Amino acid sequence: MATDPTPQMRIGELAGRTGRSVHAIRWYEAQGLLPGVLRNAAGRRLYGERHVGWLELMERLRSTGMSIAQMRAYTALVMQGRRTLPQRQQQLAAHRAQVEARIAEWKTALKELDRKLAFYADWVAQGARPPTDPQGRPLPRPRPLKPKTKTLKR
């Protein structure tokens, strides 16, 4: 990651711009996930606009389940420059495939949650536990029988 031509933001400003705490920003830097941080003559960290976007990317990668080690590897590739573009693309494509698989798992889990919520809704509405099959799935509720009316024969 190239540095901004004139990074001028202090850590508090970066925290305000990104919604991250000063502690979190320092953690990212200590983990090697915030490259290109400069210091002024007094030794204070200076950040630029690229750090704003970089922190957002790191947070997104983390929220998709990318490990810190994978994030470090990606950051190291970025620091090596354009020659690593194919490797970066490959790493992100592989991670995307993992995210897609996780989304599919979550969709299956969500269907199960919806089934269970419907079961409880039926239980509350009927006032009695609905019958279930051997796997614990609700069985269709039998329709109430209409009372038979006797017809008189003459």
Residues of the chain with pLDDT under 50: 3
Tell me, what's the pLDDT at 119? 86
Element (H, E) at 39: strand 38-39
Q: Which residue's structure tokens are 């409880």?
A: 120
pLDDT of residue 133: 67
pLDDT at 69 (0 to 100)? 97
pTM for the full model?
Answer: 0.74
Contact 3, 38 (CB under 8 A): yes
Would you state the pLDDT for residue 141? 65
Angle at 109 between CA 104 and CA 111, to 5 degrees: 95
pLDDT of residue 142: 65
3-state secondary structure of 106: helix
Cβ atoms 4, 48 nearer than 8 A: yes
Find the radius of gyration of the CA atoms of the chain.
29
C-beta separation of 46 from 38 below 8 A: yes
